[in-house]
């Protein structure tokens, strides 16, 4: 995989641009059209500007808890490498494990690294927010589904956590099947054991996930509970 210092890239993205005419303009390298044009021109580094711009977009769009996330699992890093080489032939990624083992961190880290190395249109959401956004009383359910369907890379966190109803299964199938047919990769996380996946999300969805995903089991115990217990122990008087 290509090595990339994401922190150094972030500094570059937000550094003041020399094109600004006054300090009050607050123009940054990543937000400057002139810098973009120069980078695209002869002798410029357009890839660096695109990645700087992607860094700003990721900082603005990712949940604050995950803006610094980086993948550490070898299988996740290997998937990122495959995606960056050719998104059209890359499988999706499915992280499976109990609550609190770090699935979301690895997933957002994979999204962040993939979209920095190969900038494209991305979307991320939790399964609960996905189902809520498509209910009849939601603001723009058709628009929400369209954006998730068409993103070059989608992260869907906590797949299967919504109550399983015919409606939930149908809208999930519409999303996953559209991306399946378009060969658009996605990143999924789930707490549901693989053996129970068909019952939890339905045969059609489970079949497509098994066929088209690199499955990464995440082992361990709930880190959140362990951290909370340590804090609790620290506050108990000796």
Per-residue pLDDT of the chain in tens (238 residues, 90 and over written 9): 666 788 999 999 999 887 866 666 778 999 888 888 888 875 667 889 999 999 999 999 999 999 999 999 999 999 999 999 999 999 999 999 999 999 999 999 999 999 999 999 999 999 999 999 999 888 899 999 999 999 999 999 999 998 889 999 999 999 999 999 999 999 999 999 999 999 999 999 999 999 999 999 999 877 655 555 555 555 556 5
221: buried, middle or exposed (CB in 10 Å: 19+, 13-18, 0-12)? Answer: exposed
Q: CATH fold of 65-224, please?
A: Rossmann fold (3.40.50)
Locate CATH 3.40.50.300 in the chain: 65-224
pLDDT, residue 227, reads 58
CA–CA gap between residue 57 and residue 5 (Å, rounded): 17
Burial 2-29 (b: 16+ CB within 10 A, else e): eeeebeebbebbeeebeeeeeeeeebbb
**Under a CB-based contact definition with an 8 Å cutoff, are residues 75 and 214 in contact?**
yes
């Amino acid at each position: 995989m290509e090595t990339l210092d994401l922190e150094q890239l972030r500094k570059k993205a937000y550094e003041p641009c020399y094109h600004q005419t006054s300090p009050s303009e607050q123009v940054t390298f990543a937000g400057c059209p002139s810098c973009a044009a120069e980078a695209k021109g002869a002798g410029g580094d357009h890839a660096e500007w695109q990645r700087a711009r992607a860094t700003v977009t990721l900082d603005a769009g990712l949940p604050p808890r995950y803006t610094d996330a980086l993948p550490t699992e070898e299988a996740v890093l290997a998937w990122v490498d495959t995606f960056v080489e050719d998104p059209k032939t890359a499988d999706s990624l499915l992280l499976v494990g109990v609550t609190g083992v770090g699935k979301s961190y690895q997933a957002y880290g994979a999204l962040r690294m993939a979209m920095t190395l190969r900038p494209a249109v991305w979307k991320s959401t939790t399964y609960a927010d996905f189902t809520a956004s498509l209910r009849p009383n939601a603001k723009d359910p058709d628009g929400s589904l369209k954006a998730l369907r068409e993103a070059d890379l989608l992260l869907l966190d906590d797949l299967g956590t919504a109550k399983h109803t015919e409606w939930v299964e149908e809208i999930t199938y519409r999303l996953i099947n559209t991306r399946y047919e378009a060969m658009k990769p996605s990143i999924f996380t789930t707490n549901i054991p693989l053996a129970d996946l068909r019952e939890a999300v339905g045969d059609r969805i489970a079949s497509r996930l098994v066929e088209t995903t690199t499955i990464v089991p995440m082992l361990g115990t709930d880190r959140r509970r362990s951290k909370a217990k340590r804090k609790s122990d620290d506050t108990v008087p000796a």
